């Protein structure tokens, strides 16, 4: 709800929920913005679960699904908005850069990329405490995911986003990074 309201999607028509899992984000975004048509992209087995949720919420007119692997498969194009929520922390920095670039390329001009995940502050990467703890947990699993606010913002700008907004989500350890394409 917080993300859907913060993003201000008035006038946007086509949304991609990348790694959308059960479709919770797409469903919420479309309930708040009924003019939007959304696609939930996830592995083929997972989109079957999303389909059931979409039907449960009577949102079949607004939301469809696309099964695939976003590191290899085509994402489609002409999206006004791409969401990537709680997906990045399963990948290493280079894979994440490729995913952000792929999302950038799938967006229309004036499109918006909404990234939701766990980001550190720009000090010695010790804050927020919960996020630095998670970072260590991920390291023990062989996953290097430890972007600071500054590093993720710089990555967005290098890829081509002209405006980048970073906001911490109230009462949660996660943050949202919104990149706008010119």
Task: Rule CB under 6 A: choose which of 33, 85, 96, 146 binds ligand SAM.
Answer: 85
Instruction: Mark 12-31 with x for binding to ligand SAM (rule: CB under 6 A) and - for no binding.
Output: -------xxx--xx------
Nearer to ligand SAM among residue 88 and residue 120 (C-beta): 88
179 near ligand SAM (CB under 6 A): no
Q: How far is the CB of 90 from ligand SAM (least distance, A)?
A: 6
47 near ligand SAM (CB under 6 A): no
Task: Rule CB under 6 A: choose which of 5, 8, 35, 43 binds ligand SAM.
Answer: 43
134's tokens: 């998670």
145 near ligand SAM (CB under 6 A): no
Q: Within 10 Å of residue 147's Cβ, how many Cβ atoms?
A: 24
150's tokens: 């500054």
Q: How far is the CB of 83 from ligand SAM (least distance, A)?
A: 7
46 near ligand SAM (CB under 6 A): yes
- Bridge partners (DSSP) listed for residue 112: 81, 180
Dihedral-angle region of residue 125 (phi above 0 means left; psi in -120 to 50 means alpha; beta otherwise) = left
Secondary structure (H, E, C), 101-170: HHHHHHEEEEEEEEEEECCECCCCCCCCHHHHHHHHHHHHCCCCCCCEHHHHHHHHHHHCCCEEEEEECC
Helix (H) or strand (E) holding 56: helix 44-56
Binding residues for ligand SAM, total number by CB under 6 A: 15
Which residue ranges make up the site for ligand SAM (CB under 6 A)? 19-21, 24-25, 42-43, 46, 69-71, 85-87, 90
């Amino acid at each position: 709800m917080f993300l859907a309201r913060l993003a201000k999607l008035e006038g946007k028509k086509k949304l991609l929920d990348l790694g959308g899992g059960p479709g919770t984000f797409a469903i919420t975004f479309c309930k708040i913005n009924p003019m939007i048509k959304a696609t939930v992209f996830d592995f083929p087995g997972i989109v079957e679960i999303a389909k059931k949720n979409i039907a449960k919420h009577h949102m079949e007119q607004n939301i469809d699904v696309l099964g695939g692997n976003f590191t290899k498969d085509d994402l489609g194009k002409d999206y006004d908005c791409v969401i990537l929520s709680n997906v990045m922390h399963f990948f290493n920095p280079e894979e994440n850069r490729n995913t952000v670039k792929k999302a950038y390329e799938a967006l229309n001009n004036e499109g918006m990329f909404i990234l939701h995940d766990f980001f550190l502050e720009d000090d010695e990467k010790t804050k927020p405490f919960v996020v630095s703890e998670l970072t260590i947990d991920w390291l023990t699993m062989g996953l290097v995911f430890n972007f600071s606010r500054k590093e993720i913002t710089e990555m967005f700008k290098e890829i081509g986003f002209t405006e980048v907004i970073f906001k911490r989500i109230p009462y949660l350890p996660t943050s949202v990074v919104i990149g706008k394409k010119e």
